[in-house]
Amino acid sequence: MDDLSRATWVKSSYSGGNGGNCVEIAWLGGDVTAVRDSKNPGGPVVRFGGAAWEAFRGGVKGGSLTGIAG
């Protein structure tokens, strides 16, 4: 498991500026990218390896992940 205490989190450019659905991303080294809900920074974190991150990112950019409920 990666140590997230030193991670630098950045807000996704796809997150709204109105305090709504906000996603934060941190690059953890190697090919691992972490994603969390900015409204719940102590909550769950999803980690992606390189290929999985590219597939996820492509799905978001392409619009195929819209409407997914959490």
pLDDT surpassing 90 at residue 63: no
> Residue 9's pLDDT is what?
94
User: Which is more confidently placed, 24 or 67?
Assistant: 24
Residue 6: CB atoms within 10 Å: 8
> Residue 20's pLDDT is what?
63
Q: What rounded mean pLDDT belongs to the chain? A: 83
> Residue 11's pLDDT is what?
87
pLDDT surpassing 90 at residue 22: no
> Residue 29's pLDDT is what?
87
DSSP the chain: ---GGG---EE-TTS-TTSSS-EEEEEEETTEEEEEETT-TTS--EEE-HHHHHHHHHHHHHTTTTT---
- pTM comes to 0.76
